[in-house]
């Protein structure tokens, strides 16, 4: 790495301090040690920048598309995060095994099940890629909701700070085996996970998951964070 991890994080933190008003009180609920899978909605680039910057010194990594490692700036940030490169549109067993190993080492793994940024903050349907990791590892999933910063780039151009909110939900584990994950059940379970994120958001951002009466928890077993 050209720059040290500490230097990269200090630059990103300064950038955040200049551009956002962080409302991150609930982040203190997350224990200092893992392993956990952090599942969040994906609004824009600031989700990852804020999460990785302010969750420190908790050990957090993520899966990052391979293309990010060919862009000089994105590569610097991805390497500082210890991100795991993953091929898009294919089953990448190497990336999956590295992610499982990170969880075994007690790290937290951040995943955005929507798979792409919404830009407007409105939730899209989640993709089931999170499930094999959750089922194979048995690690609790922590639902995280980001909101309020969909106009971040517009505000930056107007030299205005943006309010950035982060909400933390109750952790849970997936009550299923790999044999249970046929195509239909994969999406059912994924939607159950996504509803746990949706309930943390103001109604206007829930999008595909707006109708909370459809939220089920048949495959979820709720747990609690250990006391500090």
Q: Which of 73-77, 125-129, 188-192, 206-210 has the weakest average pLDDT?
A: 73-77
Q: Average of pLDDT values for 20-27?
A: 96
Residue spans per domain, the chain: 5-222
Share the mean pLDDT of the chain: 93
170-207 tens-digit pLDDT:
999 999 999 888 989 999 999 999 999 999 999 999 99
90, pLDDT greater than 80: no
Class at the top of the CATH hierarchy for domain 5-222: alpha beta
Residue 153 CA from chain centroid, whole number: 20
Nearest residue to 135 (alpha-carbon basis) of 171, 173, 170, 108 = 173
pLDDT band at residue 1 under the 50/70/90 scheme? low
Angle at the Cα of 75 from the Cα atoms of 73 and 76, rounded to 5 degrees: 70
Query: 10-14, 62-66, 141-145: which has the minimum mean pLDDT?
Result: 62-66
pLDDT for position 226 = 86
Region of residue 172 (phi > 0: left; psi between -120 and 50: alpha; otherwise: beta): beta
pLDDT of residue 4: 86
């Amino acid at each position: 790495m050209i720059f040290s991890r500490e230097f990269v994080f200090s630059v990103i933190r300064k950038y955040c301090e200049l551009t956002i008003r962080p409302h991150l009180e609930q982040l203190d609920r997350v224990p200092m040690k893992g392993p956990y899978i952090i599942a969040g909605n994906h609004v824009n680039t600031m989700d990852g920048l804020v999460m990785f910057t302010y969750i420190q010194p908790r050990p957090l990594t993520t899966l990052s598309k391979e293309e990010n490692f060919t862009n000089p700036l994105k590569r610097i940030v991805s390497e500082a995060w210890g991100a795991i490169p993953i091929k898009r549109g294919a089953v990448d067993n190497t990336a999956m095994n590295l992610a499982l190993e990170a969880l075994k080492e007690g790290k937290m793994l951040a995943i955005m099940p929507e798979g792409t940024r919404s830009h407007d903050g409105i939730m899209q349907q989640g993709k089931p890629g999170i499930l094999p990791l959750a089922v194979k590892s048995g690690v609790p999933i922590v639902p995280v909701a980001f909101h309020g910063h969909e106009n971040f780039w517009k505000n930056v151009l107007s030299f205005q700070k943006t309010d950035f909110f982060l909400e933390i939900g109750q952790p849970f584990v997936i009550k299923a085996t790999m044999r249970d994950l046929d195509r239909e059940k994969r999406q059912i379970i994924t939607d159950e996970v996504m509803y746990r994120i949706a309930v943390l958001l103001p109604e206007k951002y829930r999008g595909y998951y707006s109708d909370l009466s459809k939220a089920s928890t048949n495959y979820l077993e709720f747990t609690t964070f250990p006391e500090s």
